[in-house]
Chain A
């Protein structure tokens, strides 16, 4: 069985990371910005799993589990923030949330 070349895993991680950064920078909807952050965290995970495979150790997967835990905590707090924000300002549009900006 031919192994998957590690370069392609890293390319995939780079692609996912860049797509996530574009989403964070260009979208206005805060929910979609949070989803783009999930994409970035998954780009980290694919790298951890790929290098865990190519160094022959399980340690990388442990770190991937920690990253998934962080993602769960971040989603819970982020969406809680979003609900509190929506209750006060009636918007999920990042352009209209400028209380501290001007």
Chain B
């Protein structure tokens, strides 16, 4: 399991870099699909079987279809290089590098990798569903309202005339 994890973690990082470095939005979208599918493999290796299936169906399926459809509708070609501020390049990149180093040092000091992990929980659809519909049923219902508002918002925004 550990070699699988390292291989797909590396693939995730490489594809994520490809998402933000590609100049053409379609290539970014395809790289994002690679990120999402390799994250699904990582979820399986961490024992989250149901979540891996959800990741492929909802994320790599539905959400990415939405992105690719919008790219097609807007006919977005290569990004034009505009004159941004020099401040972003000379101040932003060092600050972000410092941020990354700080997070990594916090993790390095705070987490010991030698901890003994408990046995992996049973995370099939039955276990996840029982928890979701018993203990977390109120958040689940609130989420349905969120989805309803999102649908209404998308229709109102995208429709030409109401």
Contacts and interface: CB of A to CB of B under 8 A. Distances in A.
Partners in one complex: yes
A76 to B, nearest CB: 4
A62 B50 CA distance: 10
28 contacts: A1-B1, A3-B1, A4-B1, A7-B108, A7-B112, A12-B13, A15-B16, A18-B96, A18-B99, A22-B96, A26-B92, A29-B25, A35-B28, A39-B32, A45-B39, A45-B51, A49-B43, A52-B121, A53-B48, A61-B50, A61-B128, A72-B147, A72-B150, A73-B147, A73-B150, A79-B154, A82-B70, A83-B74
Contacts of B74: 31, 82-83, 86, 92
Given A7-B107, A19-B17, A69-B147, A62 B79 contact: no
A83 B73 contact: yes
Contacts of A86: 74
Interface residues of A, number: 72
A68 B76 contact: no
Interface of B: 1-2, 5-6, 9, 12-13, 16-17, 19-20, 25, 28-29, 32, 35-36, 39, 42-43, 45-48, 50-51, 54-55, 58-59, 62-63, 66-67, 70-71, 73-74, 76, 79-80, 82, 84, 88, 92, 96, 99-100, 103-104, 107-108, 111-113, 115, 117-123, 127-128, 131-132, 136, 139, 143, 146-147, 149-151, 153-158, 160
Given A19-B13, A52-B48, A70 B146 contact: yes
Q: Is the interface of A mostly helix, strand, loop or mixed?
A: helix
A31 B121 contact: no
Chain A to chain B: the 4 pairs with minimum beta-carbon distance, closest first: A56-B118, A73-B150, A23-B20, A80-B157
Q: Is the interface of B mostly helix, strand, loop or mixed?
A: helix
A79 B35 contact: no
B66 A59 contact: no
Contact of B111 (A10, A61, A82): A10
A18 B5 CA distance: 20
Contacts of B66: 75-76, 79
B158 A83 contact: yes
Given A19-B16, A58-B123, A95 B1 contact: no
Contacts of B99: 18
A50 B122 CA distance: 14
